[in-house]
Amino acid sequence: MTENTVPLYHIYTYTDVDRAFWAEHLEDWVPKRIIDAHVHFNDPKFQIETVTEEMLKASWVTEVCPGKSNAADTEVYTRTTFPNREVSLVAFGHIDFGWEIEGSNEDIRAEGIKRGWYSLMMVRPTWVAEQVDWWLSKPGVLGAKPYYTMIGYDRTGSNAYINAGIFDFVPHHQLEVLDQRSAWLTLHVPKVDRLGNPDNLRDIAELRKRYPRVKLVIAHFGRSYTLPHAEEGLLPLADDPGILFDVSAVLNPAVHELALKHIGPDRILYGTDNPYFYLRGRRQWEGRTYINRTSHPFHFNKNREAPEIEARYTIYMYEALKAIKDSCNKLGLGADAVQKLFYSNARGMIEDILSRKGETPLPEPGSVSA
């Protein structure tokens, strides 16, 4: 039988393997309404740097996601991979100097509004408070998505600023504005040893004390992709009700189980990290390390699995959804908890921010079959 493939982002496709995986594991469990709180896209017209072969070799993240998709493409991909679901996005750009940030921010905002989506602005640490406030005043903008790569230019893709401090790329004068507006802040934590690094925990405690009205969302469970990292990072923050987390890029069911058990579904937001998670394959863990399995011959993909195993690979976002499902089922969490995680928590934050701005919520996207 000829496989019915639909093009997705970059080299990825949606296949009968994915349809079968969705039907078996996800169709009867994933809620009908979803807010994906962590999505990237940039229209290619805002790309100002050519990605070289050396850059691809230096960064597996760049290699699997070179960053070319606009809002229309993103809408198609979302409808394809979430069949018969109503999905809204909280979107922002890719996180490097290869893009014209201001133009891209405005494009994401304006194109998102047409589709019932919201945006976070990519923000440079050099911006003064008035710039941040100006962006936050624009319709559809909920808050900010800073990143340590914005500290300085690094053409090599070598993660030169990963060991920066949080306040090096989210300076206090910007946090003051976010706090005054009770704005959303999605924080991708720095440091090689991730959220549990003592400097990160200290800085987050200071941020919470000085800027308590900021709606702090720690991305990727603080980059806790393995259970040891989750134990070191999530458990110290479990008792602070003012800290939320998004699940994006986390495939490890043990991490989801720990977070759901100790943090609870009231403080967790669903997110995909797409288009990165259109990657086809699976992730495996050993101690504090993980390996990304995939069927595409990327530079980093040296240790391949057998062809019959690779033939059964689905897309990473489906593996992540199944990990969340399995963890919820193991903990006995029902439809109410799942609805909070996938929709209600984010919706409540959005409505609160919009009410403070004097805006009304956008019409939500309708569902379209793949």
1: in domain: no
Domain count, the chain: 1
Distance between CA 34 and CA 341 in Å, rounded? 9
For residue 138, the model assigns a pLDDT of: 98
128: in domain: yes
Q: Mark residue 84 as left, alpha or beta (left: phi above 0; alpha: psi -120 to 50; beta: remaining).
A: left
Beta strands in the chain (DSSP E): 6-7, 13-14, 33-40, 86-92, 118-122, 141-145, 184-187, 215-218, 243-246, 268-269, 281-286, 289-294
369: in domain: no
Task: Tell me the residue range of the domain where 29 lies.
Answer: 6-357
Q: If pLDDT is split at 50, 70 and 90, which confidence band does 283 have?
A: very high
Instruction: Give the max Cα distance, the chain.
Output: 61
Distance between CA 10 and CA 275 in Å, rounded? 9
CA 106 to chain centre: 19
The structure's pTM equals 0.96
Instruction: Let me know: does 346 contact 269? Beta carbons within 8 Å.
Output: yes
Q: What is the pLDDT of residues 219-278, one digit of tens each?
A: 999 999 999 999 999 999 999 999 999 999 999 999 999 999 999 999 999 999 999 999
151: in domain: yes
254: in domain: yes
52: in domain: yes
What CATH number is given to the structural domain containing 158? 3.20.20.140
64: in domain: yes
CA 73 to chain centre: 17
Q: What is the pLDDT of residues 105-163, one digit of tens each?
A: 999 999 999 999 999 999 999 999 999 999 999 999 999 999 999 998 877 666 889 99
362: in domain: no
For residue 157, the model assigns a pLDDT of: 64
